[in-house]
Amino acid sequence: MGGDELGLVQEAFATNWIAPVGPHVDAFEREFAACVGSPHAVALSSGTAALHLALRMSGVGPGDEVFCSDLTFSASANPIVYEGAKPVFIDSDRATWNMDPARLAEGLADAAKRGRLPKAVVLVHLYGQSADIDPVVELCTRYGVTLIEDAAEALGASYKGIVPGTRGRIGIYSFNGNKIITTSGGGMLVTADQALAEKARFLSTQARDPAPHYQHSQIGFNYRLSNVLAGIGRGQLRVLEQRVQQRRANCAFYQQAFADLPGIEFMPEAPFGRSTRWLTCVVIDPAKFGCDREAMRLALQDENIEARPVWKPMSQQPVFAGCRRYGGEVAADLFARGLCLPSGSNLTEADLQRVAAAVRRCHRPAATSGRTHAEAAV
């Protein structure tokens, strides 16, 4: 937490606005919209809820297909299934780790040929880095397909002077406990379309018709953000830039610490903007580094340091077995060789040094044979 959150929460208590409505909700929406440069923002209970409403308001329904980034967290794809539609996964490119516009072009051309265009494209901005948005917007416009941006991991990032999440018809953000700023749980939906923003507020508060009694002509959801949590969000927004600097400093530390080591590469920062480095991710080449990703993860675990593999692609998830995909082996390779290092905003210099030393101990010079996962387990 920053410095202001507790005072803002106390204000919610003092004024008795303990409900999913109130002055903090309105102010958080205004302040967030200004922060990302979007005309409208709608505060919701989670990023997943925001994505679900985005898909529903885009008319996604049973039998439809929705294209989605392959390398992502399952919450990007689950709401497609909530609506009875089928996800189709698009591989990453090496420059951004995000959706490869060339693969999207291939998928849309194929879909047009089959006479079955997707209802929407869910473009994910991973690990604090924007995808290459322009070619994706161009393709979606050309084929008349709705673009939804999942910027849950990319608040604070930039793309050619704009904020990822603000180019599509709808963008979503998350304030889960693990994200760069948090309300413990929460999300935001942004759009330039005022009618859409109003519809999202309506659907997220049980779709109650304007009548004195309780009347409903549509199925609604209980997806609004609490006024108490919106108070936390307002305080967090004030320290967003500081959090970005802390995350970027973590990455810079690791980059310097491993500069002389072969076979360890960082997630590239694309030239079109700023990555927040929400997580510092590396890719290990076992032949050059002398140990593979999993051996490194286990060696860190032995020292009570938690590191996690890069997202397992959705196309490899049992729950999405049988879903179509377009692409090669980029996402699969990033999963096989990628590791997310400890990246919290509150890591101390001593913490970072301890992690860096543990990673360095995994390195084996080229002459000796590489330590594999199996050997490390012994």
Ligand X SMILES: *Cc1c(COP(=O)(O)O)cnc(C)c1O
Note the residues at the interface with ligand X (CB under 6 A).
46-48, 72-73, 75-76, 124, 150, 152-153, 174, 176, 187
Count other C-beta atoms under 10 Å from residue 218's C-beta.
12
**Measured from the CB atom, is 47 or 156 closer to ligand X?**
47
Query: What is the closest distance, in whole angstroms, from the C-beta atom of residue 365 to ligand X in the complex?
Result: 37
CA distance 76 to 79: 7
Query: What is the closest distance, in whole angstroms, from the C-beta atom of residue 236 to ligand X in the complex?
Result: 14
Query: What is the closest distance, in whole angstroms, from the C-beta atom of residue 262 to ligand X in the complex?
Result: 31
CA distance 309 to 127: 13
Query: What is the closest distance, in whole angstroms, from the C-beta atom of residue 225 to ligand X in the complex?
Result: 11
Query: What is the closest distance, in whole angstroms, from the C-beta atom of residue 371 to ligand X in the complex?
Result: 32
The C-alpha angle with vertex 335 and arms to 329 and 337, in degrees rounded to 5, equals 95
**Measured from the CB atom, is 38 or 362 closer to ligand X?**
38
Contact 144, 119 (CB under 8 A): no
Contact 254, 306 (CB under 8 A): no
Nearest residue to ligand X, using CB? 47
**Measured from the CB atom, is 229 or 264 closer to ligand X?**
229
**Measured from the CB atom, is 73 or 254 closer to ligand X?**
73
**Measured from the CB atom, is 36 or 111 closer to ligand X?**
36
- Pairing between strand 280-284 and 264-266? antiparallel
Contact 234, 24 (CB under 8 A): yes
Radius of gyration of the chain (CA): 22
CA distance 17 to 226: 9
**Measured from the CB atom, is 100 or 150 closer to ligand X?**
150
CA distance 348 to 217: 54
Query: What is the closest distance, in whole angstroms, from the C-beta atom of residue 208 to ligand X in the complex?
Result: 24
First to last CA, the chain: 41
